[in-house]
Structure formats: structure tokens, C-alpha cells
Amino acid sequence: GCQNHCLAHSEPYPALLASEKITAERLATIAERACCAGLSFTYNEPTVWLEYTIEAAQAAHEKGLLATYVSNGMMSEEALRELISCIDAFRFDIKAFDNEKLREISKFGDCEQARKNAEFVINAGRHLEIVTNVIPGVNDDEKHGAEIAGWIAKNLGAHVPWHLTKFTPSYKLDYLTPTSLKTLERLIDVGREAGLEYVYIGNIPGHPMQSTYCPSCGELAVEREGFFVTRVTLENGRCVRCGRTI
């Protein structure tokens, strides 16, 4: 169910074969010169190249930059302990709440391990966000969504963001249909009913639920368009209408 399968299949994408080796130190320097806020390790599972990501994160910190990790969350406890020391924020993919459903879209993995690691990240005081790629006929029912949302609220905290992303059929799952907007919006309500304060819709350009709203009064706090922030209304990190810290 990976949205970025093309990165692992170079034959249809020959341009991806053109690459060069970049040291961790050079990567941090490139980010600094480009005035980036930091580095983000994403699009393929970063724990596959664990040692490099740790070196690059440490190099980023030496330059005053941040480092973030986008992962399936199924790394070993030993690996996660090393990452906690140098990664500022994590985003874990929780595609399923039980292994039976996970096996429908993945040949490996352990849902309990991912949940355990997510809780470890929170207890370590790091920022964490959860994303679920909503796949029709696999993990798009309300009961399953309520299980994930309820776990986030109870075990991670109501403040932890939950991103619901549209699935687009491709590769071995090309026989499925794209996620409907109605399904995503229904799961937004499921997340809110579970007590989550920040629930988002992803992969739907222009949808208002890409943005952040105050959980108390509903005032727009951060407006987004795709990958870009287009407007911030916060004053000193607080809602301009009710004063709640966002």
C-alpha cells in the first residue's frame, strides 16, 4: 500500500537511476545553504539506512537545523533509542490496527510494535504525528478508524495529529479504487468523536482539512495548500480568537 512504490522500481523510471553519493556532512551543508529548517528522512523506510540518517541528523544539529523521521514505526527498540537522541520529530504510518488487516497490504510488520514505538516516542518527549493511508475495502470502515483514533487519544494524547490520506491505486494494488472524499470526511468525524484535536485530510489538494483549526473555537490557525503554509494567524502560538495554545 505504499504511495511511493516507484522509488523501489527503477525500470519504469530510468531518471531515478542517475544518483550520486552525498556524505552526511555535505547533506547538512546543502540544507543550511538552502536556508532549510532541517532534514526530513522520508519516501522510503529510513531505518533501512539507519546509520546514515543518524549521522546526517547529528550533522544537522551541529548547524542548528532540525531532523525529522517519516517511518512505518516498526524499528527495533535499540534502533529507536538511538534515533531518539538525534531526531526532533517523527511521523509513523499506522495503516492497520491489527496484524490480520496489515497482512492484506503488507507481507511483514507488527502493529503492536509500531504502537509500542509510538508510545515510546511520546514518553521521550518528542513530537509525533500519525498517518493512515485509507485503503478502500481494507482499512476504511468506521470501526477500524475508531480503533486507531481511540488508541491515539488514549495512549498518545488528544493533541497528537492524525492524518487521513487518500489512497491511489498502483502497482500490486492497482485493482482497488481511490479513496472517496466522503470516506475521508467521515473518518474526520470519527477522529473528532474519539477526542482528537487535530485531524487532517491528505492527498486532496485544496481541501480545507489540510489546515489547522483551534480545537476550542474553530478559528483558522494555520492555512496550508499542498506542501506550503499560506497563512498563519497565531499570536505567540495562541489562537487569535480565544487565546488557546495551539
| pLDDT value at residue 1 | 47
Q: How confident is the model at residue 16 (pLDDT cuts 50, 70, 90)?
A: low
- pLDDT for residue 11 is more than 60: no
Distances (CA, A) of 195 to 3, 93, 148, 159, 214: 28, 20, 12, 9, 14
Phi/psi of residue 89, nearest 5 degrees = -150, 145
How far apart CA 11 and CA 126 sit, in angstroms, is 38
| pLDDT value at residue 215 | 97
Query: What single letter denotes the amino acid at residue 191?
Result: G
Give me the residues paired with residue 199 across strands.
162
- The stretch 107-132 carries a mean pLDDT of 94
- pLDDT for residue 2 is more than 80: no
- pLDDT for residue 153 is more than 80: yes
pLDDT digits (tens, 9 = 90+) for 220-238: 999 999 889 999 999 999 9
| pLDDT value at residue 156 | 98
How far apart CA 139 and CA 131 sit, in angstroms, is 13
How far apart CA 144 and CA 151 sit, in angstroms, is 11
Q: State the chain's mean pLDDT as an integer.
A: 93
How far apart CA 95 and CA 66 sit, in angstroms, is 26
**What pTM was estimated for this model as a whole?**
0.91
- pLDDT for residue 190 is more than 90: yes
pLDDT digits (tens, 9 = 90+) for 61-74: 999 999 999 999 99
